[in-house]
Chains A and B, each alone.
Chain A
Amino acid sequence: MQRMVIQRIIIGFITLWVVSVLVFIGTSILPGDVAEIVLGQTATPESLAAYRAERGLDQPLYMQYLTWLGGMFTGDLGTSKAGGASISSLISGRFGNTMLLAGIVAIISVPMSVVLGLLAAMYPGTWIDRILTFGTLSLISVPEFFIATFMVLIFAVQLQWLPAIATMSPEASFWETIGSMAMPLITLIIVVAAQMIRMTRAGILNVMNSPYIEMAILKGVKRKRIILRHAFYNAIGPIVNVIALNLAYLVSGVVIVETIFAYPGLAKLMIDGVQTRDLPLVQACAMIFCGTYVILIIMADVAAILSNPRLRNPK
């Protein structure tokens, strides 16, 4: 079992390395010479060359990659071209915002989804299952911006309860912060929960065809116990995996939601970085996203390994 966990972690590191290569190559194919963009059209060839030499841009690509990779390890994420601020300081604030948003969404949506998913699986074919199935199906079928817009329409325009824009100021009190975050929070909870409810239900129903479930029915075990004790324990692996994927999405994939509500998160930062050709910033963000994904997936896999009695209790 330990071997499997270690193996999984090693694969995670390999993935991270492949990502670093992809990210580096991917960002270097972005058009435009960084030096020209930074120094503008008035730059002289000498100043351009000086800038390149200073940033190591005159070196071969693989050297630039190694330098960059080395920087990553030592926590030196480079300097943003915008004002030359260090990327670490640029990212840290945004990272906090993102983690706050993702954390609150996760705390609410994960237990809610698992409970609703189990409920739907417990009463398949009944009205409660139908409502949950059709409701979540509709929600995963429409674009996020549609849900977000709808939220704005209801809570900000019609009812005027909540602000349409999420302004995050450090001086705001906790409740003010929560209030301004409310709209993105609700939107994300809906988006993420719909996915997780469906997958929880599917994961449970998937093991429901096993002979041991039939045996439980033939032993006169009650519905609730069949689902919670007999089926759930065997479906933990896939369910945890879906939760991990959705949490990864909360950190990296919320571009649309952050854009609509102008929420100052990491995803928005990266979008801006791409549009302004701020390569070091884009690279750093991409590595953070990928790292989050890899860590979450490793955690899910380890949880699946731990929840499997075959692996937990060898013969």
Chain B
Amino acid sequence: MTELLEVKGLKIAAPQKDGSEIPIVKGVDFNVKAGEVVALIGESGSGKTTISLGSLGYTKPGLEFTGGSIKLHGNDILTMGNDDLRSLRGQKVAYLAQSAAATFNPAITIGEQVTESAVLHGVMTQEEATIRATELYHALELPDPELLGGRYPHQVSGGQLQRLMAAMALVGRPDLLVLDEPTTALDVTTQIEVLKAFKKVIQEEGSAAIYVTHDLAVVAQIADHIVVLYSGEVQEQGSVDQIINNPQHPYTKRLMAAAHAGPKPGMGDKLSGDHDKDIANVQVKDMTAGYGEIRDGKPAITVLRDINMSVKNGHVVGVIGESGCGKSTLARVIAGLLPAAQGNIILDGKTLEGSYKQRTKLELQKIQFVYQMADTALNPKQMIGEILGRPIEMFQGLTGKKKREKVAETLRMVELPVEFENRYPAELSGGQKQRVNLARSLAAEPEIMLCDEVTSALDSIVGSNVVKLLKRLRDLTGVSFMFITHDLSTVAAFADEIVVLYAGRIVEQGPVDEVLSPPFHPYTRLLISSVPEMKIGWLEETMKKREMAVGIARGVEITAVGCPFYNRCPIAIDGTCNIKTPPVHEPTPGHQISCHHSLEDILGFENAPQQVLHGFEKAAPDDAAIL
């Protein structure tokens, strides 16, 4: 194979006002052969996105190329004039951004945006481009390919937009595709669907690609060659087989260690016997909640329906589900941020008021909510000492020196240096900010912490360190956790119990090892099968499984009757699952599965009878409906 792209000694830096430079990329070499997929892997700050944009001759504002060369077909991109650069971008090299939702122009139809670059560069006429785009929509398995072009970006779902962006990149038949974390923001079940589509079109089109990500398991499915980056330098590079199965460099090994291992029973360090398992710390009883005006106990938009669950003293309960399933809403209802329309929240045996405004100070102290994004959760104009000192002052009544000591102690608990009390949030890294965010809730000395996706926005290494910290805090303080996430692996390693939410209803819950081993609710099975494994060929393997057959192509629909999973379930029974509320099976004490099938049928899932395929071929025209 010939070299398509040659990157040699590439240096990119941020020039400062005083003439100095902050180096971002410090001399990087790698090659991309025609038809080959090269993965750039590293954490945020590793320079991977900056390098990938370099192959389009582009740097983010504030950055500059300071050395080296990037040659495409032997021509150096860095010395090209504007006209050449313009015809390079979009025509020879095409870019796919991380967030398609932000990258599509809200005011222009999808069709125009997809075909724009091919038509502008004179590669094809508008008619040809439109035909080609429609072919790509088909290849990417997008619904309604004929009508899609006339829609606006807000009218389709996130997963569809991500695939549409692939169509936008591929329309002009570029030599090289640059994919910048294209599946990171997606739910697991959507992620594999998009991955599969990407892999298929890349193979069919025969174009080379640079795939930027921090997720080794994803890389294992799609890449031929891996470049491991840290702080703007290449640590190690080699074939996918060599890096995944025989990593040499200590940093690569560390990345591997932090990467997800597929969720399996027995992964976590479970509770020691001295926890009192029977006392419920927080209980949720027959709760229904949602947004808008509440009439006759029904909110205008129902988000959660008939929720029954509890968090026992010192336990960690993982709440899992896809975006839009209501998992964050559940935590907000418990915290009193959103009063429930029906049902009760019980704390230590006492029923709580629905709204935090009517709760006592002690009750507010006992339940602490931890926000997902530290950036918006911490006041940028307050120093860390002030942020942590305030709950200490309010809930423990400490002031002056005692307060400062307690702040220092709290910082130590979250493994941050005491000097941080004099810093502002902007002076901290993402992981450090998340620790401060946890510390603020911890400083209140709560009984239960409701953690809303606290690791989702973090890189794998930073995220796994935060989970380690949470485990330590649980052992140290005996605080209970409700841990909301879409990441099943984290939950498997950390939680005592799991609650699986789907479309606002609990479909399965129980001790973590029970939920992760058969019998499974069909949805739990789909979730488990969707978590990428760091194994070459996993994607093809998992796509053959029965639960994938129907499950992934469907959107979430919040239904009032029947089983919420009905329209995605491969073993759904027409006339039953869509009409009647499923009964609850209890295979072992505390493990509950809501399903119309008998436990035997669920166990023998692969052979379970299926009464109807509820018209999957037609495909739901608009799985955007709830997004």
Contact call B90/A218, Cβ cutoff below 8 A: yes
Contact call A216/B105, Cβ cutoff below 8 A: yes
Contact call B91/A218, Cβ cutoff below 8 A: no
Q: A220 interface residue, CB < 8 Å from B?
A: yes
Given contacts A230-B108, A233-B108, A234-B107, contact A310 B154 (CB under 8 A): yes
Distance of A313 from chain B, by nearest CB (Å): 5
Distance of B86 from chain A, by nearest CB (Å): 4
Q: Which residue of A lies closest to B102 (CB)?
A: A211
Contact call B105/A234, Cβ cutoff below 8 A: yes
Given contacts A211-B99, A315-B622, contact A220 B106 (CB under 8 A): no
Chain B residues 88 to 146 lying within 8 A of chain A, measured CB to CB, are 88-91, 94-95, 97, 99, 102-108, 116-117, 120-121
How far apart sit A313 and B88, CA to CA, in the bound complex (Å)?
35
How far apart sit A222 and B82, CA to CA, in the bound complex (Å)?
10
Q: B66 interface residue, CB < 8 Å from A?
A: no
Name which of A215, A221, A307 has the most chain B CB atoms within 10 A of its CB.
A215
Q: B235 interface residue, CB < 8 Å from A?
A: no
How far apart sit A74 and B104, CA to CA, in the bound complex (Å)?
52
How far apart sit A210 and B622, CA to CA, in the bound complex (Å)?
27
Name which of A211, A214, A220, A307 has the most chain B CB atoms within 10 A of its CB.
A220
Contact call A212/B86, Cβ cutoff below 8 A: no
Contact call B117/A220, Cβ cutoff below 8 A: yes
How far apart sit A248 and B103, CA to CA, in the bound complex (Å)?
37
How far apart sit A217 and B88, CA to CA, in the bound complex (Å)?
11
Contact call B105/A230, Cβ cutoff below 8 A: yes
Contact call A212/B105, Cβ cutoff below 8 A: yes
Distance of A124 from chain B, by nearest CB (Å): 12
Q: B624 interface residue, CB < 8 Å from A?
A: yes
Contact call A310/B89, Cβ cutoff below 8 A: no
How far apart sit A216 and B90, CA to CA, in the bound complex (Å)?
9
Chain A residues 89 to 113 lying within 8 A of chain B, measured CB to CB, are none
Distance of B171 from chain A, by nearest CB (Å): 10
Contact call B152/A220, Cβ cutoff below 8 A: no
Q: Which residues of chain A have C-beta atoms less than 8 A from B103's C-beta?
A: 211-212, 214-215
Q: A3 interface residue, CB < 8 Å from B?
A: no
Given contacts A212-B103, A215-B103, contact A309 B152 (CB under 8 A): yes
Contact call A218/B58, Cβ cutoff below 8 A: yes
How far apart sit A152 and B157, CA to CA, in the bound complex (Å)?
61
How far apart sit A218 and B174, CA to CA, in the bound complex (Å)?
13
Contact call A218/B56, Cβ cutoff below 8 A: yes
Of B95, B116, B622, B625, the residue contacting A221 (CB under 8 A) is B116
Given contacts A219-B117, A220-B90, contact A309 B107 (CB under 8 A): yes
Contact call A313/B155, Cβ cutoff below 8 A: yes
Distance of B58 from chain A, by nearest CB (Å): 6
Q: Which residues of chain B have C-beta atoms less than 8 A from A217's C-beta?
A: 58, 89
Q: A55 interface residue, CB < 8 Å from B?
A: no
How far apart sit A309 and B156, CA to CA, in the bound complex (Å)?
13
Residue-by-residue, is B26-66 near A (CB-CB < 8 Å gives 1, otherwise 0)? Answer: 00000000000000000000000000010010100000000
Q: A225 interface residue, CB < 8 Å from B?
A: yes
Given contacts A210-B102, A225-B120, A234-B105, contact A215 B88 (CB under 8 A): no
Q: Which residue of A lies closest to B94 (CB)?
A: A219
Given contacts A309-B154, A313-B155, contact A221 B104 (CB under 8 A): no
Contact call B104/A212, Cβ cutoff below 8 A: yes
Chain A residues 194 to 223 lying within 8 A of chain B, measured CB to CB, are 210-212, 214-222
Distance of A74 from chain B, by nearest CB (Å): 40
How far apart sit A215 and B99, CA to CA, in the bound complex (Å)?
11
Contact call A310/B152, Cβ cutoff below 8 A: yes
Q: B581 interface residue, CB < 8 Å from A?
A: no
How far apart sit A219 and B117, CA to CA, in the bound complex (Å)?
6
How far apart sit A211 and B161, CA to CA, in the bound complex (Å)?
14
Q: B578 interface residue, CB < 8 Å from A?
A: no
Given contacts A315-B154, A315-B155, A315-B625, contact A220 B105 (CB under 8 A): no
Chain B residues 599 to 623 lying within 8 A of chain A, measured CB to CB, are 622
Contact call A220/B102, Cβ cutoff below 8 A: no
Chain A residues 221 to 241 lying within 8 A of chain B, measured CB to CB, are 221-222, 225, 229-230, 233-234
Q: B576 interface residue, CB < 8 Å from A?
A: no
Contact call A220/B107, Cβ cutoff below 8 A: no
Given contacts A210-B102, A212-B103, A233-B107, contact A220 B97 (CB under 8 A): no
Q: Which residues of chain B have C-beta atoms less than 8 A from A210's C-beta?
A: 102
Distance of B531 from chain A, by nearest CB (Å): 28
Distance of A125 from chain B, by nearest CB (Å): 12
Name which of B53, B58, B117, B624 has the most chain A CB atoms within 10 A of its CB.
B117
How far apart sit A219 and B87, CA to CA, in the bound complex (Å)?
9
How far apart sit A307 and B58, CA to CA, in the bound complex (Å)?
32
Residue-by-residue, is B148-159 near A (CB-CB < 8 Å gives 1, otherwise 0)? Answer: 000110110000
How far apart sit A215 and B120, CA to CA, in the bound complex (Å)?
14
Q: Which residue of B lies closest to A225 (CB)?
A: B120
Q: Which residue of B lies closest to A232 (CB)?
A: B107
Distance of B275 from chain A, by nearest CB (Å): 47
How far apart sit A214 and B89, CA to CA, in the bound complex (Å)?
12
Distance of B562 from chain A, by nearest CB (Å): 24
How far apart sit A217 and B107, CA to CA, in the bound complex (Å)?
17
Q: Which residues of chain A have C-beta atoms less than 8 A from B168's C-beta?
A: 219
Q: Which residue of B lies closest to A229 (CB)?
A: B108
Distance of B411 from chain A, by nearest CB (Å): 35
How far apart sit A315 and B155, CA to CA, in the bound complex (Å)?
5
Distance of A18 from chain B, by nearest CB (Å): 28
Given contacts A230-B108, A234-B105, contact A220 B95 (CB under 8 A): no
Contact call B108/A220, Cβ cutoff below 8 A: no
Of B53, B99, B120, B154, the residue contacting A220 (CB under 8 A) is B120
Q: A215-B103, A218-B90, A219-B90 are in contact. List 8 more A-B contacts (CB 8 A).
A: A210-B102, A215-B97, A216-B105, A219-B117, A220-B120, A230-B105, A234-B106, A315-B155
Interface residue ranges, A against B (CB under 8 Å): 210-212, 214-222, 225, 229-230, 233-234, 307-310, 313, 315
User: 5 closest Cβ contacts across the A-B interface?
Assistant: A220-B89, A233-B107, A219-B90, A220-B90, A219-B117
Can you spell out 12 A-B residue pairs with CB atoms less than 8 angstroms apart?
A: A212-B103, A215-B105, A218-B90, A219-B117, A220-B89, A229-B108, A233-B107, A233-B108, A308-B107, A309-B107, A310-B152, A313-B151
